[in-house]
Amino acid sequence: MIHPRRTIQAIVFRDWISMTRSPVLWVATSGISAIVGLIFCLIVNATHQSDALSIMEAIIGFILMILVPALASKPIIDDRQIGLEEVVFASSMPTSIWVIARWISGMVATTLVLAATLGIVVAVGWFGNPDLGKIVTAYLGWIAMGSAFAAIGIWAAVIGRGAIGSSLVSLGVILCLWLLAPLSVLTSGRFSELLRETSVVHHTYGFEQGVVVGSDILYFVVLTIVFIGMTIIILNARRLE
């Protein structure tokens, strides 16, 4: 008998061990900490502190766009390479449990990546007088964004069939969602509004300004559910083949 909670815990724990033993995660987190710290110092010397924080929020969002899908998809690709994926889907485990567990693993990776940026927050608090409310909402926005990006990374890993293919697919989808806001300026009417409301960028403005808007949270929740749902549908179709 399959116990959903224990099964999810086992998969997440296995992915955690895999991630911590791989140099990819540690290179990514140390790299993001060093790069973000360096860029922040350069920006602070050239602009006002509040402007520097806004720029840093955009930079971290861009880094999440690249790193989170790659980290979320890595355990799936690793399992496929050693043939474990076929063994799992030949069992009685529900596909939904497997997908949700992989999404949780992606959220763990997101948390670790964001933890690598906390040194910047400490430095800002030590040397300046930042708006802590904006910093807290920024992290809430990054977590919501990471949730959607992890779901996209898992979906891309299922259809991409390889590390490079999965990365290109996830990056392409996220870039499309990212660019919808600039494209909305070129149009008008309801179509322009639709493009703007579908864009990732549009739903990050509030978090950057220190405001938590329900529609922004809902956007990332829906985006997460859509890609998790599509992943489950694809995998269920493969199990029936």
Distance CA 57, CA 36 (A): 10
User: In terms of Cα–Cα distance, which of 231, 112, 216 is closest to 173?
Assistant: 231
166 has a pLDDT exceeding 90: no
Tokens standing for 115? 């933890």
Distance CA 240, CA 235 (A): 9
Which range of 21-25, 67-71, 131-135 scores highest in mean pLDDT? It is: 67-71
| Averaged pLDDT score across all residues of the chain | 79
Global pTM value? 0.84
- pLDDT value of position 103: 92
149 has a pLDDT exceeding 90: yes
Query: Can you tell me the mean pLDDT for 39-50?
Result: 59
Helix axes 132-160, 118-127, angle to 10 degrees: 160
Query: Can you tell me the mean pLDDT for 135-144?
Result: 86
221 has a pLDDT exceeding 90: yes
Percent of the chain with pLDDT over 90: 15
Split at pLDDT 50, 70, 90, the class of 176 is: confident
Domain definitions of the chain by residue range: 4-240
User: Under a CB-based contact definition with an 8 Å cutoff, are residues 158 and 76 in contact?
Assistant: yes
Helix axes 4-21, 23-46, angle to 10 degrees: 70
Split at pLDDT 50, 70, 90, the class of 136 is: confident
123 has a pLDDT exceeding 70: no
Question: Over the stretch 26-38, which tens digit does the pLDDT of each residue have?
Answer: 776 676 666 666 6
- pLDDT value of position 70: 84
